[in-house]
Amino acid sequence: MNRYSISPKKEKFQLPDQKRTEQEIQDIHRKCEEAKRKGKEIVIIQGLGFVGAVMAAVVADSEVDGRLPYFVIGFNRPSISSFWKIPIINKGLCPFKAKDPEIKKIFHRTVTDRENLIATWVPEVFSDADILIVDINLDVVKPEFGNAKKSVVEIQKFSEAIIEIGNRIDPACLVLIETTVPPGTVEHVVQPLLEKCFIRRGIDIVKNPPLIAHSYERVMPGERYIQSIKNIWRTYSATSELAKKMTKKLLANIIDTHQHPLFELPNPTSSELAKILENSYRAMNIAFIYEWTLFAEDIGINLFEIVDSIKVRRGTHDNMMYPGFGVGGYCLTKDPFLAEWASNHFFKRDQHLNFSIEAININDLMPRHTFDLLREGMNFDITGKKIAVLGASYRKDIDDTRNSPTITLYDDITNAQGIPYLHDPYSTMIEQRRDILIHSNLDRVLEQADAIIFVVDHQQYLRLSIRKMMLKISKNACILDAFNVLSDPKIKLLKKHGFRVLGVGKGHIKDL
């Protein structure tokens, strides 16, 4: 039985059989030996997602005193959903679409030119590692929409990946966790598991305690993808002074620490907590503006210019967010809950992080407000109506659709018997919802649309000619600006031509 892994570009890759795997184990080990002879350290990245794949390229690309100190191996399990990333990387390509022009260059340079980066599916290679960087996901499942407290942390899968490491690595190998984890995970999960594995393998853990570090990335997919790894502050900590020293050396080799000095925290729990707090702060900031958005709309006020007038106060008020459509992505939609989970599971506290958890709920429910505006704009008659939904990714000009708030709106429209036509210039599919079709032809989506909802501020939408758009859509169409895509003059023009326009945070539209 042949099984295939299919890339977003529809390339088909056969999953490896046992023979090919055995060959791979030999080949990859030989390459490691060769690299070691050249004085290189072997760095393995476990998990080739949005962070791991690019992190692998950045580590492979780092130069110290004119030489390349690392031979990097990207590892991913040969699953149907992910195996394709391995042959793609080995062709010298990035497995993700990205606006950053550096992305293309760095994969070509490290894989093809310098032969310093390869990807593989065989965990046997872990035994060759000097440094193993964990970039796998630790997923949170939300069984109840809008009730984040009921979430489930898939710690079991994460633990299995750690055991896979513990069974193979040399005790001198540094294990650097980059995964966002509940605070306390290194101390309460990773360290005990690695120690158990070491003991089973006859390793004296008093002499050779596992070397474990935590340091979190601040990757931001988009135009500055590579820079968001290399040119940014890094916080780290580790389980011992030796592990801290090794981590510091690695980070100093890949990050511009002159501009962005490293922060060393006293223990891994502090570093883990820092990441969660950082993302929770952002989630809370977004949730905060939500109820003011509803207020501004109801009283006929443009909240955008008000936020502008406040954000000038740098250092105290410039982190304030604008009204928007909702929150997606892998981090803000779950990270506050990881602290709540740690609080219960690791530390047996009976106090809760209610305020931060509530931020997740508010943000999850936000796209429902856009749906309410749609219903209002359509006079509560959506049945059989063609609704153009513009934007599938959760952020401007990227193709990342993980936990996109568009999914909520899409389902709300469908449940109300409307017919959503989803468009995105970057994304071709939503991995977690393969049933949702994404169209790439904007004209086709706009044709005869009864409503148009802008949910992401992609460049293509910002540049859209309103005059041309008006020719394509239904004469009575409702236009809904959920992400400040339309300027006031554009809205005026639409209104002049008889279109009904509504906007999130734009209570002033009725007076335009």
Q: Which parts of this chain interact with a second copy (CB under 8 A)?
A: 183-184, 218, 233, 235, 260, 263, 265-267, 269-270, 273-274, 277-278, 280-282, 284, 287-288, 290-292, 294-296, 298-302, 305-310, 312-320, 339, 343, 346-347, 349, 351-356, 358, 362, 508
CB 49 within 8 A of CB 180: no
Please report how close the Cβ of residue 342 comes to a second copy at its closest, in angstroms.
Answer: 8
β-bridge pairing 12-14 and 4-6: antiparallel
* Dihedral, 290, 292, 297, 298 alpha carbons, nearest 10: 120
| Helix spans in 257-405 (H) | 268-298, 303-311, 335-345, 354-377
Choice between 336 and 418, CB closer to a second copy: 336
Could you tell me the smallest distance in angstroms from the CB atom of residue 284 to a second copy?
Answer: 5
Burial of 202 (0-12, 13-18, 19+ CB in 10 A): exposed
HSE-up of residue 351 (Cα within 13 Å, Cβ side): 4
Beta strands 152-153 and 131-134 are: unpaired
- Name the minimum Å distance from CB 512 to a second copy: 11
> Nearest distance from residue 280's CB to a second copy, in Å?
8
Q: Which is nearer to a second copy, 176 or 339 (CB)?
A: 339
Rounded least distance, CB 276 to a second copy, Å? 9
5 is written with which tokens?
């892994």
Q: Quick one: 320 or 462, whose CB is closer to a second copy?
A: 320
Shortest Cβ distance from residue 364 to a second copy (Å)?
Answer: 14
Q: Shortest gap between Cβ of 316 and a second copy (angstroms)?
A: 6
3-state secondary structure of 474: coil
Question: Rounded to the nearest whole angstrom, what is the least distance from the CB of residue 296 to a second copy in the complex?
Answer: 7
DSSP 178-238: -S---TTHIIIIIHHHHHHHHHHTT--TTTS--EEEEE------STTTTHHHHSS--EEEE
The nearest distance, CB 28 to a second copy, in angstroms, is 37
- Write the Ramachandran bin of 448: left for phi over 0, alpha for psi from -120 to 50, otherwise beta: left
| Closest to a second copy by CB, 350 or 435 | 350
d(CA 98, CA 96): 6
Structure token pair of residue 443: 């004209």
For residue 78, count other CB atoms closer than 10 A to its CB: 19
Any bridge partners for residue 386, and if so which?
A: 419
Residues 462/430, Cβ–Cβ less than 8 Å: no
First to last CA, the chain: 64
For a second copy, the closer CB: 52 or 184: 184
Q: Tokens 């943000």 identify what position? A: 363
